[in-house]
Amino acid sequence: MTGLLGGTFDPVHLGHLDVAHAALRALSLDQVLFIPANIPPHRHAPRASGADRLAMVTLAIAGEPRFAASAIELEAAGTSYTAVTIDRMVAAGRTREDLCFIAGADAFAGVASWHDYPALLDRCHFAVVSRPGFPASAVRTRMPAFADRMIDAKDRYQTPARTSIFLIDAPTAPVSSTDVRACIDRGAPLTGLVPDVVAGYIDAHRLYTREAHGH
């Protein structure tokens, strides 16, 4: 099974790598594709260009052969919708049972507002990974209508009859891209927040500084 980690990645940080590793391990995935959104729905536009966000993701995952970056959303014009991205992958030859969309529990809490919900949840498997302050198990009580398709990743030996929602509680770094951008704004070091190669890229390209804002 291939994991799809969608996000804005503005910029990619150590929490994202932890999420991908947690899903890889819990679900024995073959690979995880990191998919930066072109224009994310429901939020402000990214500060960095798509090309810079993709370049940073590519640098961040270079040491992990089971991680890859995908430009599928950046290459499509306009707003990026998870349902549309999954359909495009299926049209290109993937099977739905072989795809698992990975989301942090904070992001998944808003799934009812995603394009084509609830049919979206039939598109492929989903994996919800905890984020500090957002346990994955809370999704069960939040979405009782879907509780019958939620499976603790630990109990995965039950072969799901249809697309499932795997729940994964795992430690991930308490970092957000918002924190990273705030650190850059005040000139604080990014040690422990992003991989060193990403910090180097941000510095070399002067991303997220006040002067760069709006360019």
| Binding residue (CB under 6 A) for ligand ATP from 107, 109, 138, 183 | 107
| Binding residue (CB under 6 A) for ligand ATP from 3, 50, 104, 195 | 104
Task: Output the 3-class SS for the chain.
Answer: CEEEEEECCCCCCHHHHHHHHHHHHHHCCCEEEEEECCECCCCCCCCCCHHHHHHHHHHHCCCCCCEEECCCCCCCCCECCHHHHHHHHHHCCCCHHHEEEEEEHHHHCCHHHCCCCCHHHHCCEEEEECECCECCCHHHHHCHHHHHHEEEHHHCCCCCCCCCEEEECCCCCCCCHHHHHHHHHCCCCCCCCCCHHHHHHHHHCCCCCCCCCCC
Tell the smallest beta-carbon distance from residue 188 to ligand ATP (Å): 16
Tell the smallest beta-carbon distance from residue 161 to ligand ATP (Å): 26
Q: Record the tokens describing residue 56, joined without a space.
A: 């940073």
Tell the smallest beta-carbon distance from residue 121 to ligand ATP (Å): 15
| Binding residue (CB under 6 A) for ligand ATP from 53, 123, 125, 131 | 131
Q: What residues numbered 155-184 form the site for ligand ATP, per CB under 6 A?
A: 172-173, 175-178
Per rule CB under 6 A, is residue 71 in the interface with ligand ATP?
no
Considering beta carbons, is residue 159 or 178 the nearer one to ligand ATP? 178
Cα gap 140→123, rounded to integer Å: 19
Task: Please give the size of the binding site for ligand ATP, defined by CB under 6 A.
Answer: 19
Per rule CB under 6 A, is residue 209 in the interface with ligand ATP?
no
Per rule CB under 6 A, is residue 141 in the interface with ligand ATP?
no
| Binding residue (CB under 6 A) for ligand ATP from 4, 17, 19, 167 | 19
| Binding residue (CB under 6 A) for ligand ATP from 87, 106, 116, 152 | 106
Residues that bind ligand ATP (CB under 6 A): 7-10, 15-16, 19, 103-104, 106-107, 129, 131, 172-173, 175-178
